[in-house]
Structure 1
Amino acid sequence: MLKVRGNAKINLTLDVLYKREDGFHQVEMIMQAIELADILHLEERENGNISVKSNIARLPCDHRNLAYRAAALIKEACQVNKGVHIHLEKNIPVAAGLAGGSTDAASVLKGLNELWKLGLSISDLEILGAKLGSDVPFCLRGGTMLATGRGELLKPLTDLKPCYVVLAKPPIGVSTAWVYRQYRGQDVKDHPDTDGVVACLNQGDLTGVANRLQNVLETVTIKEHPEIKELKKTMMQYGAMASLMSGSGPTVFGLVEEQAGAEYLAAKIRSQRSAEVFVTKTVGKNGGV
């Protein structure tokens, strides 16, 4: 039995540059790992079968589940005869813009590489991961990264100065594919200052990063779900340095320097808004704040 931890992510910036000939969108975004995580238990099976069980009843546990697909992919790619049972303890909200499915896939790739003694490098795993989803390569690495291409091309950045992150997910699900289909770049006037954020990261300037948080997909998701804008307002009203929607939404996060401030903010949101609320922290490249 092998236990693997899969961290969620937030987007400090997200820009969509253009639609590519292959149908994907060319993006440029700064991604940040956070401590909120799913826990996966991998148990080898001699019969060659793959099975998934989860603590979330409504979560599909067949080929629609990215953890299942990751196991099938690495098993086929490396011609492994053994199977695996995956027990998936979901703590990251589903369809929330926090890469919950992608981090499960990354965890399975890393875990089975170890369990089956395959000897694949992190680069090998990234190539496999990119076949499963654009966020999977980032979830394999974590820390603070600049992601380009469709999100799978990564450049390590200086870790964000450690801070607390308050997450609020309203009771709605958002389809990433739908958001990208609705996105109209010609209507977006303000784009992230990616270079400015990178410079602030290099200087350890948390305030500078916070002042430059931006996500162009808010132009789509907030129009459909105005409660996201209200959550951002509440975040700022009660002490967040800055607030942004993560990924395609609907989760909103706020950056807070101290734990007491983060707990106060979370309590205010719980009392005033309908949302799942979490207090977590940033995670650096070495797995800690």
Structure 2
Amino acid sequence: MNVQTGKAAAKINLAIDVLRKRPDGYHEVSMIMQSLALFDTITVRAVKGDIKVTSNNDRLPVDEGNIVYKAAKYLKLKYNVKEGALINIEKTIPIAAGLAGGSADAALTLKLLNNVWDLRLSRNEMLEAGKKLGSDVPFCIQGGTALAEGTGEKLTQLQGIPECLILLARPAVSISTKEVYEGLKLEEIRKRPDIRNMIKHIEERNLEGITACMYNVLETVTVKKCPQIEELKKKLLEYGALGSIMSGSGPTVFGVFRDTAAAYDAYDHIKHMVSEVFVVKTSN
């Protein structure tokens, strides 16, 4: 089949700890990742010639700088693929928001091209390709709920968290992940998430326990560039969130809600404060 379409899921980090900086410049992390039912739609068509990327979002580069283009080029060169590909990205996931939209799109592109180009790659081969593209890509290939270690590529699948709603509030600023990690001073980290306890609460399906363990050490850096993060967290807790932290390197803040009415009440109160707001379920 030379045309395929799929959905690429956003993700949040229920916890992020940064342990050390490696000699190669990358950081060792310990994170709990969670897929969301917030999707970009990607259509891949095998064509003669090279790779072309298009999108409905003008802010998205569609040249060699796009991670989807890099994913396609990597497979084409590594497996000596003669065909090209026309790849369309229908964006819904906010860009540069700490929700791994680019990584999710790259992960799905690998899966779709595996079929369209008839590469017959195993899951492990796709995970290896994902590692070459970015530290969040292997998780986005796998999805669900997982502990991510190393630079984010060592994954341990966990059972899904209990049913809940996630409110995402994205301030009108874009944050570079690279800048946030460069601004992080490891010796100044005073508080860290309790990852071990969070895993225990996930196994026990204890949503209150999970949210009590949520913490993101990157917040201390991003909040200097976007002070609104603290205000949004406070507001979400006021409106009934069980817990609220920043996702990824930010600036998106999320709140976890058990109660649907409370989540949509919070949505109504928050929507005028930020550029984008969503209420979504988790995805496993």
TM range (shorter): over 0.9
- The residue aligned with 1:275 is 275
- The residue aligned with 1:79 is 80
Output the aligned Cα RMSD. Answer: 0.9
- The residue aligned with 1:61 is 62
Deviation at 1:218, TM superposition (A): 0.5
Cα deviation 1:187-212 (Å, max 9, x = unaligned):
11111100000000000001100111
Q: Decide whether the 8 Å contact of 1:162 with 1:283 is kept in 2.
A: no
Deviation at 1:111, TM superposition (A): 0.4
**Residue identity matched to 2:32:** I
Cα deviation 1:66-100 (Å, max 9, x = unaligned):
11110111111111101110110000000000000
| TM-score normalised per structure 1 | 0.96
- The residue aligned with 1:198 is 199
My pick for the range that moved more, 252-261 or 239-248, is: 252-261
- Of residues 20, 23, 26, the one that matches 2:22 is 20
Deviation at 1:262, TM superposition (A): 1.6
- The residue aligned with 2:170 is 169
- The residue aligned with 1:125 is 126
Number of aligned residue pairs: give it: 282
- The residue aligned with 1:7 is 9
CA distance in 2, matches of 1:282, 1:76: 35
Aligned 1:1-289 pairs, distance under 5 A:
1-45=3-47, 47-271=48-272, 273-284=273-284
Specify every segment of 5 or more residues in structure 1 that has no aligned partner in the other structure, as ranges. 285-289
Q: State the SS of the aligned residue for 2:271.
A: helix
CA distance in 2, matches of 1:276, 1:151: 27
Cα deviation 1:128-186 (Å, max 9, x = unaligned):
11111000000000000000111011011121112110000000000000000000111
**Residue identity matched to 1:71:** A
Deviation at 1:259, TM superposition (A): 2.5
Cα deviation 1:17-41 (Å, max 9, x = unaligned):
0000111000000000000010001
